[in-house]
């Protein structure tokens, strides 16, 4: 894998004194989908703003495809397409005009065939002569994406792409992102829909209070930090936990019909076989059982909560 | 110097298209204003006024009228051009694009100045319907028009970057530039004023600009052409210095 974006020791303190980012190191590989997760105000948009040239960093360096993003800004910015979180548009412009404008702004020669294909891919072709103010919010979002893709960038930043977007458009957007990745485009998206990161991302970064507290392969993360839950559907309801099951931290759920056991799936001894043996010894019959891997959401909430409470989230989270 | 010519062209074309949407209003407005000024100053008042020097009063006010409109148009067009993307938020695209500050400046100021020069030319043409105006130095006159348009568009660009509301956008053109121009000898020679007023008027920078432009028409102005050129150069240099500082610091453009 070759790195397409390298961020090192990036920090930003706003004039107000607010420290929005500090000591961020991150390397993005070509062709991956990277999801940056974090609560509101964690520094996601500041990070993107710095890479794209909208926010001036206080310290640190960014290189895009080997080009320093300040010294060699033309080469660096030519590689990047940005879809900001807010729907900033020229309301009175036509769809096709504004998309062609963006291509020109990035120094690319006119290419009506490319623009047509782009608008068709985003289901905007029928609306090409409509003024932007006539479009719905979802369509405006598509126009923003078309503008960002108009100059054939190698890296696409999507800042909260599906905030306030209906389910159907969100599915469309996910399909589009996968299609872009298949063409070799690197995608960095921020989101606070964990479901989105879980669905799309190859790797996940978690940012909290301006610090990147974790970067991990998504599947590995779920495996590593994930806990599993075993649920047993009992034949006869239990009123209370019988003695003899004290060694396992069990809970009764479903009005006594379910016995729930949470365990660390990576541990040497999960405690599952011994629990099942003990249940049979005690004569507690069950009809069915299933296990469930904890979701990225549960992991994320745990991580952010941890970093807020002790500030040593990185060590705590990866331990 | 210009690495992204297509980008400059894209913004220039975008801005000219914006003017194009209001083409007829833009065209009609200077024609009507000029006509009104000629009816009031040229016919009603001008007929009772003696010539200024050996220039008939009607012809005398043409350069001042052109400058007055070009100053206000240049400032409002250039300030609006850069203020709008800030206001709608579309500035993000300019800032994240491979455009140098100089290229952004050339595109925005170039488009606004083009419109100002066109409007100046329309006023000039309309004036011919009412009075006979001879231009002593046509080339210098054209050069002066372009220089004034560019300088005041730079000034407008600065206002557009500084402004944080539509009110601030209007306040300098209306409260500073318009009165200074009106009192800067647009419609009279400062020789007509009492000595004390004349001395005071010499502190008004616009006097030197209008005088210089009038010189290109009639070969004489309130002050020497050299002094006028010096004033233009100072104003231009000041605007460029401020803009250089704005782009260096990212003042009100970047966080």
Asked if A219 and A235 sit in the same domain, the reply is no
Nearest to A56 among B10, B100, B250 (CB): B250
Q: Is residue A318 part of a domain?
A: no
Asked if A211 and A231 sit in the same domain, the reply is no
Q: Would you call A77 and B90 a contact, using CB atoms and an 8 Å cutoff?
A: no
Nearest to A107 among B7, B95, B254 (CB): B7
What is the C-alpha to C-alpha distance for residues A79 and A76, in angstroms, rounded to an integer?
Answer: 6
Q: What residues of A are in contact with residue B98 (Cβ under 8 Å)?
A: 73-75, 77-78, 106-107
Asked if A208 and A271 sit in the same domain, the reply is no
Asked if A242 and A104 sit in the same domain, the reply is no
Q: A248 lies in which domain range?
A: 227-293
Please choose, from the candidates B214, B156, B220, the residue with its C-alpha nearest in 3D space to the C-alpha of residue B185. Answer: B214
Q: What residues of A are in contact with residue B9 (Cβ under 8 Å)?
A: 104
Check if B14 contacts A (Cβ < 8 Å): yes
Note the pLDDT of residue A224.
67
Q: Is the pLDDT of residue A319 over 60?
A: no
What is the C-alpha to C-alpha distance for residues A48 and A148, in angstroms, rounded to an integer?
Answer: 14
Out of A75-89, A205-219, B42-56, B118-132, pick the least confident.
B42-56
Mean pLDDT value of segment A48-58? 92
Which of A222-226, A233-237, A242-246 has the highest mean predicted lDDT (pLDDT)?
A233-237
**Which of A205, A223, A241 is the endpoint of a domain?**
A223
Q: Is residue A161 part of a domain?
A: yes
pTM score: 0.82
What is the rounded end-to-end Cα distance, in angstroms, of chain B? 26
Output the average pLDDT for chain A. 86
Counted domains in chain A: 2
Check if A78 contacts B (Cβ < 8 Å): yes
DSSP line for B174-238: IIIIHHHHHTTTSSS-GGGS-HHHHHHHTT-HHHHHHHHHHHHHHS--SS-HHHHHHHHHHHHHH
Q: Would you call B88 and A105 a contact, using CB atoms and an 8 Å cutoff?
A: no
Note the pLDDT of residue A107.
94
Asked if A211 and A235 sit in the same domain, the reply is no
Q: Is residue A300 part of a domain?
A: no
Q: Is residue A305 part of a domain?
A: no
Q: Is residue A160 part of a domain?
A: yes
Listing from the earlier edge strand, what are the strands of the sheet with A227-234? A250-253, A258-264, A227-234, A286-293
Note the pLDDT of residue A295.
67
Look at A224 and B146; give whichever has higher pLDDT. B146
Output the average pLDDT for chain B. 89
Partners of B191 in beta bridges: none
Share of chain A above pLDDT 90, in %: 42
Residue A262 sits in a domain of what CATH number?
A: 3.30.70.100
A217: left (phi over 0), alpha (psi -120 to 50) or beta: beta
**Which of A192, A223, A254 is the endpoint of a domain?**
A223
Confidence grade of residue A312 (pLDDT, cut at 50, 70, 90):
very low
Asked if A114 and A253 sit in the same domain, the reply is no
Asked if A11 and A68 sit in the same domain, the reply is yes
* Rg of chain B over all Cα atoms, to the nearest angstrom: 19
Please choose, from the candidates A318, A306, A5, the residue with its C-alpha nearest in 3D space to the C-alpha of residue A155. Answer: A5
Note the pLDDT of residue B44.
73
- Chain A nearest CA to B6, separation (Å): 5
Note the pLDDT of residue A276.
87
**3-class SS of residue A230:** strand
Residue A184 sits in a domain of what CATH number?
A: 3.40.50.300
Helix (H) or strand (E) holding B108: helix B101-127
Which of A234-238, A248-252, B11-15 has the highest mean predicted lDDT (pLDDT)?
B11-15
Confidence grade of residue A296 (pLDDT, cut at 50, 70, 90):
low
Mean pLDDT value of segment A230-234? 88
Chain A, nearest residue to B85 by Cα: A90
């Amino acid at each position: 894998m070759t790195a397409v974006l390298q961020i090192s020791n990036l920090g930003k303190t706003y004039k107000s004194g607010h420290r929005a980012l500090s000591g961020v190191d991150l390397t993005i590989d070509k062709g991956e989908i990277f999801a940056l997760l974090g609560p509101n105000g964690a520094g996601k948009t500041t990070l993107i703003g710095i890479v794209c040239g909208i926010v001036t960093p206080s310290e640190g360096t960014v290189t895009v495809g080997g080009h320093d993003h300040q010294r060699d800004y033309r080469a660096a910015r030519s590689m990047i397409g940005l879809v900001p979180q807010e729907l900033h548009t020229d309301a009175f412009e036509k769809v096709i005009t504004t998309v062609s404008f963006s291509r020109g702004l990035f120094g690319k020669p006119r290419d009506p065939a490319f623009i047509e294909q782009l608008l068709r891919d985003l289901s905007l072709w029928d609306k090409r002569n409509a003024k932007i103010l006539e479009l719905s919010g979802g369509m405006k979002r598509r126009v923003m994406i078309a503008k960002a893709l108009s100059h054939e960038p190698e890296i696409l930043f999507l800042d909260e792409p599906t905030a306030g977007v209906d389910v159907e458009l969100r599915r469309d957007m996910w399909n589009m992102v996968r299609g872009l990745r298949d063409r070799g485009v690197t995608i960095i998206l921020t989101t606070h829909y964990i479901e989105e990161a879980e669905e799309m991302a190859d790797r996940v970064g978690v940012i909290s209070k301006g610090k990147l507290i974790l970067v991990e392969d998504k599947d590995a993360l779920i495996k590593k930090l994930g806990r599993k839950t075993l649920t047993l559907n009992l034949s006869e309801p239990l009123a209370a936990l019988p003695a003899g099951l004290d060694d396992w931290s069990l809970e009764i759920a479903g009005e006594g019909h379910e016995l729930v056991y949470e365990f660390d799936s990576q541990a040497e001894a999960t405690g599952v076989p011994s629990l099942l043996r003990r249940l049979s010894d005690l004569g507690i019959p069950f009809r069915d059982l299933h296990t469930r891997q904890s979701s990225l959401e549960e992991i994320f909430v745990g991580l952010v909560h941890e970093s807020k409470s002790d500030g040593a989230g990185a060590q705590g989270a990866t331990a | 110097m210009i690495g992204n010519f297509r980008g400059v062209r894209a913004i220039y074309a975008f801005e000219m298209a914006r003017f194009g949407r209001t083409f007829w209003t833009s065209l009609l407005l200077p024609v009507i204003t000029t006509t009104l000024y000629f009816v009031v100053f040229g016919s009603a008042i001008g007929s009772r006024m003696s010539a200024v020097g050996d220039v008939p009063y009607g012809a005398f006010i043409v350069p001042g009228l052109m400058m007055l409109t070009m100053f206000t148009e240049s400032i409002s067009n250039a300030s609006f051009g850069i203020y709008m993307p800030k206001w709608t938020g579309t500035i993000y695209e300019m800032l994240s694009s491979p455009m140098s500050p100089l290229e952004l400046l050339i595109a925005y100021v170039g488009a606004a100045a083009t419109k100002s020069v066109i409007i100046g030319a329309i006023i000039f043409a309309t004036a011919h319907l009412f009075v006979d105006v001879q231009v002593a130095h046509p080339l210098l006159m054209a050069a002066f028009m372009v220089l004034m348009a560019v300088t005041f568009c730079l000034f407008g660009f600065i206002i557009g970057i500084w402004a944080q509301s539509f009110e601030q956008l209007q306040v300098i053109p209306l409260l500073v530039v318009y009165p200074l121009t009106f009192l800067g000898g647009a419609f009279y020679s400062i020789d007509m004023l009492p000595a004390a007023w004349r001395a005071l008027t010499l502190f008004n920078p616009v006097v030197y600009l209008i005088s210089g432009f009038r010189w290109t028409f009639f070969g004489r102005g309130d002050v020497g052409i050299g002094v006028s050129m010096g004033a233009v150069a100072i104003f231009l240099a000041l605007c460029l210095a401020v803009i250089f500082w704005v782009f260096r610091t990212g003042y009100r453009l970047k966080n």
